[in-house]
């Protein structure tokens, strides 16, 4: 069962199409140091519908993070176009929020101070900033930690603060660069469940970079496999799992096992090109 099909509102019974469609056409990125030109991404075209959860997997060095930073506007494309809802991106913007693996929290700000940061940049008044930030702090089960500093938090709590900070300023799109990669397995699984709950709640487009096939299949509506360097789209898998079941039931299901195998085999062809498929 597709998670998005279960999203409802009080008027129609189902949500209207939300914003956050990403369209990429003929994307190319070349790093030019003057002495050497390295093509990181080559002729990549992709459409991510509004509200979709897309995970991206590929061999090390295939350009996964480069792709994310291009969509974020941190890097300029060498050729091709990237658009959000039909509008070409022109640098970073509040319509796109980025969650990094290393949290990127301000150590001199408390949890509340970190979560309100983006709202401050948008010029939101103090009372509204506090109310909005508190809502997302509560959503992340961080109530009671508002006055703590990052050094006083565990890794999982820091990642939840990072996600709360990004969600608080209400971007259309969440760009996540291996956000759970440094966490141990129990905590990783806990935050995966948390992310799925949040995604159902706030209805954002999510583009999620990971090296973990199991994570990609479990979380996503679609998984894109990238080719080895220079990276481009190899194939996209539609993931249709009944996530109304428990995590254990999903992971042990025939559907999950089959999709994981298909994605793994596609990725293996890129990481081990001499295996003869």
Provide DSSP, the chain.
Answer: --GGGG---TTTSSPPPPS--EEEEEEEEEEE-SS-EEEEEEEEEEEE-TT-EEEEE--TTSSHHHHHHHHHTSS--SEEEEEETTEE--S--TTEEEE-TT----TTS-HHHHHHHHHHHTT--HHHHHHHHHHHHHHTT-TT-TT--GGGS-HHHHHHHHHHHHHHT--SEEEEESTTTTS-HHHHHHHHHHHHHHHHHH--EEEEE-S-HHHHHHH-SEEEEEPSSSB-EEEEEE----TTS-HHHHHTSHHHHHHHHHHHHHHHHHHSTTS--
**Residue 6 pLDDT exceeds 50:** no
Res. 126: pLDDT tops 70:
yes
How many residues are given for the chain?
277
The better pLDDT of the pair 125, 182 is held by 125
pLDDT, position 157 = 92
What is the homologous superfamily of the domain 93-209 according to CATH?
Answer: P-loop containing nucleotide triphosphate hydrolases (3.40.50.300)
pLDDT in tens, 155-173: 889 999 999 999 998 899 9
User: How do residues 57-115 score in pLDDT, each as one tens digit?
Assistant: 999 999 999 999 999 999 999 999 999 999 999 999 989 999 988 888 999 999 999 99
Q: What percent of the chain has pLDDT over 70?
A: 92
pTM of the model: 0.88
- pLDDT band at residue 51 under the 50/70/90 scheme: very high
Say what the pLDDT of residue 17 is. Answer: 52
| 243-to-57, 145, 247, 251 alpha-carbon distances in Å | 21, 31, 8, 10
The mean predicted confidence, pLDDT, of the chain is: 88
Q: How confident is the model at residue 132 (pLDDT cuts 50, 70, 90)?
A: very high
pLDDT of residue 32: 86
pLDDT band at 260 (very low <50, low <70, confident <90, very high): very high
Predicted pLDDT at 5: 38
Q: Give the percent of the chain with pLDDT over 90.
A: 69
Please count the other Cβ atoms lying within 10 Å of the Cβ belonging to residue 124. Answer: 18
Q: What digits encode the pLDDT tens for the residues 189-210?
A: 988 998 998 888 888 999 999 9
Residues in a beta bridge with 37: 32
Structure tokens at 93: 């913007």
**N-terminal to C-terminal alpha carbon distance within the chain:** 30
261 φ/ψ angles, rounded to the nearest 5 degrees: -65, -45
170 closest CA partner among 109, 121, 112, 241: 121
Residue holding tokens 């003057």?
34
């Amino acid at each position: 069962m597709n998670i998005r099909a279960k999203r409802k509102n009080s008027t129609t019974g189902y949500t209207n199409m939300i914003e956050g469609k990403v369209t990429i056409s003929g994307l190319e990125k070349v790093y030019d140091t003057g002495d050497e030109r390295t093509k990181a991404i080559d002729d990549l075209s992709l459409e991510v519908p509004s509200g979709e959860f897309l995970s991206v997997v590929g061999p090390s060095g295939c350009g996964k993070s480069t792709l994310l930073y291009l969509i974020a506007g941190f890097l300029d494309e060498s050729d091709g176009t990237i658009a959000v809802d039909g509008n070409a991106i022109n640098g970073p913007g509040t319509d796109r929020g980025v969650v990094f693996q290393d949290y990127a929290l301000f150590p001199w700000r408390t949890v509340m101070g970190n979560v309100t940061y983006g709202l401050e940049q948008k010029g939101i008044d103090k009372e509204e900033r506090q109310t909005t930030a508190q809502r997302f702090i509560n959503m992340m089960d961080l109530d009671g930690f508002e006055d703590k500093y990052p050094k006083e938090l565990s890794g999982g709590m820091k990642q939840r603060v990072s996600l709360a900070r990004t969600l608080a300023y209400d971007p259309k799109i969440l760009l996540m660069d291996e956000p759970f990669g440094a966490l141990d397995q129990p905590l990783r699984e806990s935050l995966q469940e948390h992310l799925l709950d949040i995604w159902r709640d706030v209805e954002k487009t999510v583009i999620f970079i990971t090296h973990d096939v199991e994570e990609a299949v479990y979380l996503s509506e679609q998984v894109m496999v990238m080719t080895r360097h220079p990276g481009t789209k190899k194939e996209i898998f539609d993931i249709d799992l009944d996530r109304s079941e428990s995590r254990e039931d999903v992971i042990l299901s025939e559907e999950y096992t089959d999709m994981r195998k298909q994605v793994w085999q596609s990725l293996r062809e890129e990481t081990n090109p001499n295996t003869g498929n």
